[in-house]
Structure 1
Amino acid sequence: MLTGLTIVFIGGDARQIQIINKCTELDATVKVVGFEQWEPPLSGVSHEKLSPGLLMRADVIVFPVIGCNDQGVVDSPFANDEVVLTKDMFAEIREETVVYTGMAKSLLKRMAAEFSFKLIELLERDDVAIFNSIPTAEGAIMMAIQHTDITIHGSTCIVLGIGRTGFTLAQTLQGLGATVKVGVRREDQAARAIQMGWKPFVATDLRAYTGEIDLIFNTIPTMIVTAQIISKLPRNVVIIDLASAPGGTDFRFAEKRGIKALLAPGLPGIVAPKTAGIIMANTICQSISEEFHLRGDEM
């Protein structure tokens, strides 16, 4: 149970609803900012205006998956007004307060260091990232089906990067009957790819593999699908970039050449917000219990 804790949620999409509901069920005092337009209205919570005092009274603060941008703006699709945190607000967060987000950008990291509050990035955890890779892979394949006129079965697909998302995606494409080639950066990744029945190559040597390709899925958050690469690609190839914005693709040159290239970060919250939210809710509530040494009998 989370009895006696005040948890403040600042902005977020439909995934946050699952976390809010879970915290409410576990008897936390829940205050939310930026959910005025959510239907049906949230029950068991109090809607608040963002203020230094609100943050000062919080035991736990929960940001969206991408906490806030470097101007302090929090993604808040259900808010009446823009939700923006100032340095004065961050300064009121107590050192003993625990702040959760999926992945923190530089401002939030700097504020945590300057004001000494504990910042936990959930997507740094293997369990969360692996579970999240499932809706990401499903969403990427959904986009591929929508934007091509061929089946995945029998297609030739390149997956750049076989981290947690790339691995799940390559495995799913293989299961659908695609020929899968994977761009890797280490020898152990190449060995794993061979063991899985994929065809590995060094990711930076992509130019040598631009022949008969139907789909490219990028998970590497640095520029890798460059203009030089795109100039050698078949015009009917589709690029789906899953890396965090701005992605790893030269979208300007792809458009100029008439190649369809789509930036698609945050797919779990788009294609499966309930599942993605439950993953985050279970992890956050368990973590809160551990951080505050609460009884976890009902977690």
Structure 2
Amino acid sequence: MLTDLNIAILGGDARQLEVIRKLTELDANIILVGYDQLDHGFTGAKKMELEEVDFSLVDAIVLPVSGTGPQGEVDTIFSNKKIVLSSEHLKAAPATCHLYSGISNAYLNKIALDSGRKLTKLFERDDVAIYNSIPTAEGTIMMVIQHTDITIHQSNTVVLGFGRVGMTVARSFQALGANVKVGARRSEHIARIAEMGFTPFHLDSLKNEVWNVDVCINTIPTSIVNSDVISKMPSHALIVDLASKPGGTDFRFAEKRGIKAMLAPGLPGIVAPKTAGKIVANVLASLLIEDINSRKG
């Protein structure tokens, strides 16, 4: 249980509703910032403005999956008011205050370091990333169905990257009957790709592997689907980039070639916010309980 723990939840989308629900069930005291337009009421949760929060009493701060913007701005769909998290907010909190975010950036890393407060990036955890790969794969399937005029069955599908998302996406498309090729760099990934029944190739030869591609799905957050690669694709190809912004695709050149290319990060929160929210909520609750026990220990 999280009885008497004061947790400030700043901004977020529909996924955060599952986080709020889970933490209130565990008897935490919840402060909601950026939820003034939310009609739903949660027992044990109070809506407040950021300047009204007494951070000296806050044991944990929960940010949206997206963390903050480059200047500390926090996104929320339940308010039109601007929320900006600063190092002063963190410094006002107890030294044991723990900051939780889905992902991070240079700004968030800096204010956590400057304030001496611990920052946990939930999406760097294998369990969260693997669970999230399921709605990501389902959302990718939905996008491909919507934006092509062929079936996934017997399509020539290329998946770039064989991490936690790439593996689930490749397996899902193969299960639907696609001819799946997977590009990777590490020799152990190449071996696993072959073992799982996909056609492996090294990413250095990517431009030679896309001449007949129908669907190209990128999970690598660096420039990989560049103009050299896109110029070798047939004009009907669809590119779905699942990497975090700005993605790994030259979208300008794709448009110039008449190839449809879409950046689609955060699919779990779009296609299955309830499931995606429960994934974050369950892991976050476990971490908070561990944090409490470690303080007692």
Query: Per the shorter chain, which TM-score range?
Result: over 0.9
Local SS of the residue matching 1:120: strand
Paired letter, 1:217: I
Paired letter, 1:236: H
> Partner of 2:167 in structure 1?
167
Paired letter, 2:126: D
Residue segments in structure 1 that go unaligned for 5+ positions in a row: 295-299
> Partner of 1:284 in structure 2?
284
> Partner of 2:242 in structure 1?
242
Q: Trace 1:1-299 onto structure 2 (pairs within 5 A).
A: 1-51=1-51, 53-293=53-293
Alpha-carbon distance in structure 1 between the residues aligned to 2:59 and 2:195: 47
Local SS of the residue matching 2:103: coil
Alpha-carbon distance in structure 2 between the residues aligned to 1:122 and 1:201: 31
- CA drift of 1:43 comes to 4.2
Deviations 1:215-260 (A, max 9, x none): 0000000000001111111000000000000000000111111110
Residue segments in structure 2 that go unaligned for 5+ positions in a row: none
Partners of 2:87 and 2:112 within 8 A in 1: no
Partners of 2:90 and 2:117 within 8 A in 1: no
Alpha-carbon distance in structure 2 between the residues aligned to 1:6 and 1:40: 20
Partners of 2:24 and 2:42 within 8 A in 1: no
Local SS of the residue matching 1:99: strand
- CA drift of 1:94 comes to 2.7
Greater displacement, 91-100 / 209-218? 91-100
- CA drift of 1:144 comes to 0.5
Alpha-carbon distance in structure 1 between the residues aligned to 2:52 and 2:112: 15
- CA drift of 1:168 comes to 0.2
Residues 52 and 124 of structure 1: is their aligned pair in 2 closer, same or farther, counting only changes over 3 Å?
farther
Paired letter, 2:102: G
Residues 203 and 96 of structure 1: is their aligned pair in 2 closer, same or farther, counting only changes over 3 Å?
same
Paired letter, 2:5: L
- CA drift of 1:41 comes to 4.0
Partners of 1:56 and 1:93 within 8 A in 2: yes
TM score, norm. by length of structure 1: 0.95
Alpha-carbon distance in structure 1 between the residues aligned to 2:89 and 2:27: 26
Paired letter, 1:282: N
- CA drift of 1:40 comes to 3.0
Alpha-carbon distance in structure 1 between the residues aligned to 2:55 and 2:13: 20
Local SS of the residue matching 1:72: coil
- Percent sequence identity is 51
Greater displacement, 85-94 / 171-180? 85-94
Greater displacement, 194-203 / 50-59? 50-59
Partners of 1:66 and 1:102 within 8 A in 2: yes
- CA drift of 1:57 comes to 1.8
> Partner of 1:297 in structure 2?
none
- CA drift of 1:65 comes to 0.7
